[in-house]
């Protein structure tokens, strides 16, 4: 194990056993949830928009839609996509394009970088204690004024508390300071809500040294758990979309009514 990412930390905290299946055992995934596939396509299309803008080029609607459709085709070719009850591929495709239209109407910001990779050593910001492993990831977007922007696609609205405690933003802020030797100006989550009538929510927040100390503590405890091979399973609504249900001992032994309850909670209508 040569690095940690914010998504790995989140997954370990959500369900240690799923982390083991994915990152230790490297088990093949028999399917991909529609939410994950949609999010991947949407992020890659947003990245294309940002790269066009940074190059001073226009964003023609027809080209934009072709990019979205091509990325969606690649997702389907790569693996089976599992849709929620009542979902259809065409409906999701139209929804994605409608959300992209909304984004194109948003005020344009001057941009510095899109999908920027980082790899920095993990250490305590005050004591300089080194964890002995790097933090890796990608900034979704860095605006010209050094505001870090993260994009989300969710079925439900977010709240300010979700944003203020967001682990990814803490990871990004920490990495930014290590790379540029200065704090980010601000932090922002742009959330695309996948309703029948989609909308964009924009949340702003900040990060302090205390937040980075909290993040280091989380990363340290997760790393210790992984090194000690402690992978505790945790059931919840996320089980309905889990690719490893067929091999999970807890999911396999849940009674049918319990499974249906979890799947119903996952199947939030758009």
Where exactly are the structural domains of the chain? 31-108, 111-227
pLDDT at 270 > cutoff 50: no
Query: What's the pLDDT at 267?
Result: 46
pLDDT in tens, 75-113: 988 889 999 888 899 999 999 999 999 999 999 999 999
pLDDT of residue 269: 38
- Measured CA to CA, the distance from residue 196 to residue 62 in angstroms comes to 23
Give the pLDDT mean for 48-74.
Answer: 95
Domain 111-227 listed as CATH 3.90.320.10: yes
Return the minimum-mean-pLDDT range out of 139-153, 169-183, 235-249.
235-249
pLDDT of residue 252: 72
């Amino acid at each position: 194990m040569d690095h940690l990412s914010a998504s790995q930390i989140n997954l370990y905290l959500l369900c240690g056993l799923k982390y083991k299946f994915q990152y230790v055992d490297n088990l093949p995934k028999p399917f991909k949830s529609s939410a994950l596939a949609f999010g991947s396509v949407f992020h890659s299309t947003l990245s294309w928009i940002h790269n066009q803008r940074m190059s001073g080029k226009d964003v023609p609607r027809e080209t934009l839609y072709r990019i979205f459709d091509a990325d969606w085709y690649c997702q389907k070719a790569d693996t089976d996509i599992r849709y929620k009850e009542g979902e259809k591929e065409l409906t999701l495709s139209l929804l994605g394009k409608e959300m992209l239209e909304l984004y194109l109407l948003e005020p344009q910001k001057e941009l510095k970088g899109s999908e920027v990779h980082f790899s920095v050593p993990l250490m305590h910001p005050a004591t300089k204690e080194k964890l002995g492993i790097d933090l890796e990831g990608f900034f979704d977007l860095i605006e010209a004024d050094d505001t870090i922007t993260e994009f989300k696609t969710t079925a439900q609205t977010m709240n300010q508390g979700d944003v203020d405690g967001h682990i990814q933003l803490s990871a990004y802020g920490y990495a930014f300071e290590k790379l540029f030797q200065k704090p980010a100006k601000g932090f922002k989550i742009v959330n695309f809500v996948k309703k029948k009538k989609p909308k964009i929510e924009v949340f702003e927040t900040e990060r302090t040294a205390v937040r980075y100390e909290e993040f280091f503590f989380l990363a340290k405890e997760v790393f210790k758990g992984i090194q000690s091979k402690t992978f505790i399973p945790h059931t919840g609504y996320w089980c309905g979309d889990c690719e490893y249900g067929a091999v999970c001992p807890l999911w396999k032994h849940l009674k049918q009514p319990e499974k249906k309850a979890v799947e119903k909670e996952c199947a939030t209508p758009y």
